[in-house]
Amino acid sequence: MSVSMCMPMRKYDDYAGKRVKDDKEWEDIKRKKEESRDDMCTICLEFAFNDDKNREAFQFAKCGHVFHFDCVEKALKINNNCPNCREHIHAVDQAEIFIRKRLEYKHAFQEGIRKYRIGLVDIRVGTSKRKLMEEYDLVDEVYSALVECGILTVDDMQHVRATPAVVNRLKAEAVERDRYIKDISSKINRLTMDDIDSIRDKLKRYNALSWFCQQLVRRCTLTIDKIDIVRDDLNDEQLRELYRISLQHCGVTVDEIELVQNKLEEYDLMVNAYEELIVGQDITMDNIEVLRKGLETYDLMKVAYKESIIGGFVLTMDNIEQAREDLEKFNLMSEAYDMMIDMGYITMDNIEQARKDLETYNLMREVYKRMIFANKITKNNIDQVREDLEKYNLMSKVDLAIIPFFGRRV
């Protein structure tokens, strides 16, 4: 007996033309066919009307067989017969498939232009997009959409492969759009969000609503907590840009972050918001605990202390104990005391409170030099610090007369 005769027969799914892995899969396929034969797309063997992927179903008018629209549309490119019964497809069905596909491509092109800004290079003869446009008679409509979006300008009309009448119409549309945008630009300083409803539709038609909102955001007329009112009119990329511009040009407060936190997280801009708080030195000892979780998440606690708490001069001898653990953790105690010495926050009244830290970071001499130049050591209190002044060889620097302070160190 030959080897081939001993091998098991391979089973094939007659509908999908796929090799079946094992008997269990074969039984499942047969069961599906028997149980829901009328509801099954025999091209992909998935349910046509109860599809988990929400694909659109299509039923032929003549034979009544049902398929997924995308499945049968591909099948009919091979021949115009029903994949089930080989019945010739009626002209009505062919027309409906064409119309559906045309609308689908029209929507895709318009959305693509507005969302992804498809340029002229994508619609010239020879590209796949141009072929699709010609096949479904969408060339003129796509050109018009490009004009409305401001991608196709008057200077670009040389690239348009259309009749002179169409080119002239597109030129007129481009001129009208340019005139309208120029008019809005001249009034932008006087326009507010209250005016947007009256011009919203035209701005959307010319794909200029995002531009208009950006101008308002840059002037802080449209604040970060109000951006959501145009959420339904802009795509995610445009909305993210509005939030980013608002953070960059107008900054943000702790209260505003709480209001729009979900939006900032959605557009991955929380780190930008915290950085703006730090740059604006809006982080204080009163609110740093509220912001701790977010700052630690983005590894910004050290920067917050260095730039906002210390750099913003909000750290004093009254609140340094509150921040001690973090300052020691980030090795910022020396910088903190340097700032307090420069700002004159360490005085004769609290120097004993700070003595241990000042001696640890070798800053006692700097403190006394500052006090001398600030004329804080007088006849009445020199005895209180005489021992320290002698220890740091500063007695010769002390002038018991009034000394003008020019802000220089010894």
For residue 230, pLDDT over 80 is answered with: yes
Note whether residue 321 is domain-resident.
no
pTM of the model: 0.59
Note whether residue 338 is domain-resident.
no
Decide which of 88, 118, 151 is a domain's last residue: 88
Note whether residue 247 is domain-resident.
yes
Backbone angles phi, psi at 150, to 5 degrees: 80, 10
Note whether residue 319 is domain-resident.
no
Angle between helices 351-360 and 364-373 (to 10 degrees): 130
For residues 129 and 179, state if they share a domain. Answer: yes
Note whether residue 400 is domain-resident.
no
Query: Alpha-carbon distance 99 to 80, whole Å?
Result: 16
For residue 120, pLDDT over 70 is answered with: no
Residue 370 to residues 220, 309, 366, 375, 376, Cα–Cα distance (Å): 43, 22, 6, 9, 9
For residues 77 and 44, state if they share a domain. Answer: yes
Residue 113, domain extent = 90-187
Instruction: Specify the amino acid at residue 347.
Output: T
For residues 109 and 159, state if they share a domain. Answer: yes
Tokens read off for 7: 């091998």
For residues 220 and 163, state if they share a domain. Answer: no
pLDDT greater at residue 210 or residue 99: 210
pLDDT in tens, 64-102: 778 887 787 777 777 778 888 888 776 666 666 666 666
Dihedral sign from CA coordinates of 251, 257, 263, 265: positive
Dihedral sign from CA coordinates of 96, 101, 104, 110: negative
For residue 156, pLDDT over 80 is answered with: no
405 has which bridge partners? none
Banded model confidence at residue 38, pLDDT cuts 50, 70, 90: low
| Res 305: pLDDT | 94
pLDDT greater at residue 252 or residue 115: 252
For residues 122 and 163, state if they share a domain. Answer: yes
| Res 94: pLDDT | 65
Give 141: exposed, middle or buried? Use CB within 10 Å, 0-12, 13-18, 19+.
Answer: middle
Note whether residue 335 is domain-resident.
no
pLDDT in tens, 343-390: 989 988 899 999 999 999 999 999 988 888 888 888 788 888 888 888
**What is the three-class DSSP state of 343?**
coil
Banded model confidence at residue 106, pLDDT cuts 50, 70, 90: low
Residue 17 to residues 11, 13, 14, 40, 44, Cα–Cα distance (Å): 10, 5, 5, 15, 10
For residues 6 and 82, state if they share a domain. Answer: yes
For residues 161 and 205, state if they share a domain. Answer: no
Long-range contacts of 60-65 (CB under 8 A, 24+ apart): 60/87, 60/89, 60/90, 60/93, 61/90, 61/92, 61/93, 62/87, 62/89, 62/90, 62/93, 63/87
Picking from 151-155, 196-200, 241-245, which range would have the lowest pLDDT averaged per residue?
151-155
For residues 181 and 262, state if they share a domain. Answer: no
Banded model confidence at residue 50, pLDDT cuts 50, 70, 90: low
Decide which of 88, 121, 153 is a domain's last residue: 88
pLDDT averaged over every residue in the chain: 77
Average pLDDT over residues 115-126: 49
| Res 274: pLDDT | 92
Alpha helices in 251-332 (DSSP H): 254-266, 270-279, 288-297, 301-303, 320-329
Note whether residue 372 is domain-resident.
no
Residues whose CB is less than 8 angstroms from the CB of residue 346 and which lie 6 or more positions away in sequence, other chains included: 317, 337, 340, 354, 358, 367, 370
**What is the three-class DSSP state of 378?**
coil
- Could you give the angle at the alpha carbon of 165 between the alpha carbons of 164 and 166, nearest 5°? 90
Instruction: Specify the amino acid at residue 141.
Output: E
pLDDT in tens, 297-356: 999 999 999 999 999 999 999 999 999 999 999 999 999 999 999 998 998 889 999 999
For residues 273 and 241, state if they share a domain. Answer: yes
| Res 199: pLDDT | 82
Decide which of 167, 187, 207 is a domain's last residue: 187
For residues 204 and 125, state if they share a domain. Answer: no
